[in-house]
């Protein structure tokens, strides 16, 4: 959800009273989210965000982490300088690739209409529809933009393929028209900020995972949904303790400093991307390694050095997140920073900062609980991720490494 104005279209004037009552009485839970970013991709990571869309259908696949009988979506124009016109939108059950299972497509409406205007620097919520979903089910959401959108608010690294077609194909079940996918091979999501579900059945509050590319899932299997938050959702489901797990990671994100292609600083975006999620109970925080290893924003094509990073500054940033969460009654789990020995950016000074921050997370007593990812992946304390647990760069875990991370979380610490 955007920290800027987010309008619930189903609560605006002109909507039938029955729709108002439906939206007002349902208890909505987050089933999926993506942290939205400004449309400024890294030079080495081509996306469609900077050019935007015109007379194009954008098909995006997501996996919900909780089920319900009703569904609605959230769209964001958080970084748009002018209103955005959405011509049409629908949701269906995912088949193979860009295909949708026949007979499952449902039109999404906004204030009773099939089109909508997203305010500049704001967002919109679709009307609720009856659409039963199960935990870990894959859904396909397609948006059609007739007019030019301009640069698109988006989420850069989705590790999920998105598809594009020329013309209005948002109601197609076939993948035939969707001949384009993002060139980087890692995928991105556009304008799509959240999927929410409602049901008569009570469910536990959500867990939001907050961090950088390691939480975002870089190194996971493209279209495999095997990031560590996915593995945590699977653990909870297998244990009979299913609950929403929402991934608020952003690749290249820093705790203390904004980045042109790595999103707003963690201390700035935490309120929007974590605390404004519906019915959140616990936040798991894993962030800080990019502050240590990336001293500038040149990877994004931007000049200028960051302020010098110290363990004291990073701890102060973590304390800011903890205070904000506790003020909202949200439990916090601090995750230790992973080993990075052998990576191209490793340094002895940076390693000393990581060790000091990790020791504070473990022993400082300020987080409500600790997920010791460092020791889970490197029990011998070598300062390196073992072969097989990283993707090849000694920094980002492999799917096996992500499973080990999820396995290190004590489920009883999640509120």
For residue 373, give the CATH number of its domain: 3.40.50.1110
Residues 154 and 212 in one domain: no
Over residues 368-377, the mean pLDDT reads 98
Tell me: do 332 and 373 sit in the same domain.
Answer: yes
Q: What is the pLDDT of residue 170?
A: 98
Among residues 376, 384, 308, the alpha carbon closest in space to that of 336 is found at: 376
Asked if residue 269 and residue 166 are part of one domain, the reply reads: no
Phi, psi torsion values for 104, nearest 5 degrees: -110, -10
Establish if 16 belongs to a structural domain. yes
Beta-carbon contacts of residue 206 (< 8 Å; ≥ 6 apart): 29, 30, 243, 244, 245, 246, 277, 278, 279, 280, 281, 282
Domain boundary pick from 194, 213, 237: 194
For residue range 195-219, list pLDDT tens digits in order: 999 998 788 999 999 999 999 999 9
State pLDDT tens for residues 130-184: 999 999 999 999 999 999 999 999 999 999 999 999 999 999 999 999 999 976 6
Helix (H) or strand (E) segment spanning residue 92: strand 88-93
Which residue matches tokens 């979903």? 133
Do 230 and 375 have their domain in common? yes
32 and 148 together in one domain: yes
Residues facing residue 90 across a β-bridge: 107, 142
Angle (nearest 5°) at CA 301 between 299 and 305: 70
Q: Record the tokens describing residue 339, joined without a space.
A: 């080993």
Query: 298 and 181 in one domain?
Result: no
**Overall number of domains in the chain:** 2
**366 vs 25, more confident:** 366
Domain extent for 25: 6-194
Query: Does residue 311 sit in the same domain as residue 253?
Result: yes
Same domain for 157 and 297? no
Nearest to 119 by CA among 64, 69, 80: 80
Q: Same domain for 172 and 244?
A: no
> Are 309 and 352 contacting, i.e. CB atoms less than 8 angstroms apart?
no
d(CA 334, CA 324): 14
Q: Is residue 26 included in any domain, yes or no?
A: yes
130, part of any domain: yes
pLDDT greater than 60 at residue 17: no
In this structure, are 255 and 338 located in the same domain? yes
How many CB atoms sit inside 10 A of residue 122's CB?
20
* Angle value at C-alpha 354, between 281 and 390, nearest 5 degrees: 80
In the predicted structure, residue 348 carries a pLDDT above the cut 50 = yes
Last residue of a domain, one of 194, 214, 234: 194
- pTM of the predicted protein model: 0.94
Phi and psi at 27, nearest 5°, equal: -100, 110
The answer to whether 159 and 216 are in contact (CB under 8 A) is yes
| DSSP run (H or E) holding 324 | helix 311-327
End of a domain among 128, 159, 194? 194
Quick one: 257 and 403 in the same domain?
Answer: yes
Residues 241 and 388 in one domain: yes
Largest CA distance in the chain: 64
> What pLDDT was estimated at residue 9?
43
- Supply 322's token pair: 């903890």
Helix (H) or strand (E) holding 362, with range, is helix 348-363
In a domain, 199, yes or no: no
Quick one: pLDDT at residue 41?
A: 66
Whether the per-residue pLDDT at 352 is higher than 50: the answer is yes
Q: Where are the alpha helices (DSSP H) in 170-263?
A: 213-216, 228-238
Task: Give the mean pLDDT of the chain.
Answer: 92
Q: Three-class SS of residue 413? A: helix
In a domain, 1, yes or no: no
Contacts of 329 (CB under 8 A, 6+ apart): none
Q: Residue 285 domain-assigned?
A: yes
Residue among 177, 169, 167 nearest 55 (CA): 167
């Amino acid at each position: 959800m955007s920290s800027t104005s987010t309008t619930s279209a189903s609560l605006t004037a002109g909507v039938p009273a029955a729709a108002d009552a439906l939206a007002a009485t349902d208890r909505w839970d987050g089933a999926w989210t993506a942290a939205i970013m400004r449309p400024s991709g890294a030079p080495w990571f081509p996306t469609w965000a900077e050019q935007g869309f015109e007379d194009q259908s954008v098909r995006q696949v997501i996996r919900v982490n909780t089920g319900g009988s009703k569904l609605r979506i959230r769209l964001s124009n958080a970084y748009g300088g002018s209103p955005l016109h959405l011509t049409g939108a629908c949701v269906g059950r995912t088949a193979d690739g860009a295909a949708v299972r026949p007979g499952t497509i449902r039109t999404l409406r906004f204030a009773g209409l099939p089109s909508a205007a997203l305010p500049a620097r704001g967002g919109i919520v679709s009307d609720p529809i009856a659409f039963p979903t199960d935990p870990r089910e894959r859904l396909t959401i397609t948006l059609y933009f007739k007019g030019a959108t301009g640069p698109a608010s988006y989420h850069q690294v989705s590790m999920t393929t998105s598809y594009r077609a020329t013309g209005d194909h948002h109601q197609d079940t076939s993948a035939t028209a969707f001949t384009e996918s993002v060139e980087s091979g890692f995928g991105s999501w556009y304008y799509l900020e959240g999927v929410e579900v409602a049901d008569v059945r009570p469910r536990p509050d959500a867990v939001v995972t907050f961090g950088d590319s390691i939480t975002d899932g870089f190194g996971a299997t493209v279209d495999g949904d095997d990031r560590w938050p996915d593995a945590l959702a699977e653990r909870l489901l297998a244990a009979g303790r299913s609950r929403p797990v929402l991934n608020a990671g952003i690749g290249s994100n820093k705790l203390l400093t904004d980045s042109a292609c790595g999103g707003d600083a963690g201390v700035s975006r935490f309120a929007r991307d974590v605390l404004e999620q519906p019915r959140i109970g616990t936040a798991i925080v894993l962030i800080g390694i990019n502050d240590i290893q990336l001293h500038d924003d040149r990877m994004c094509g931007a000049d200028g050095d960051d302020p010098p990073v110290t363990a004291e500054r990073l701890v102060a940033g973590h304390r800011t997140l903890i205070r904000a969460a506790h003020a909202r009654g949200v439990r916090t789990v601090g995750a230790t920073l992973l080993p990075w020995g052998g990576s191209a950016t490793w340094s002895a000074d940076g390693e000393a900062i990581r060790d000091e921050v990790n020791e504070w997370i473990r022993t400082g007593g300020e987080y409500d609980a600790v997920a010791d990812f460092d020791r889970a992946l490197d029990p011998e304390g070598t300062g390196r991720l073992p072969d097989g647990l990283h993707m090849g760069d000694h920094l980002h875990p492999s799917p096996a490494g992500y499973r080990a991370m999820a396995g290190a979380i004590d489920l009883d610490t999640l509120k």
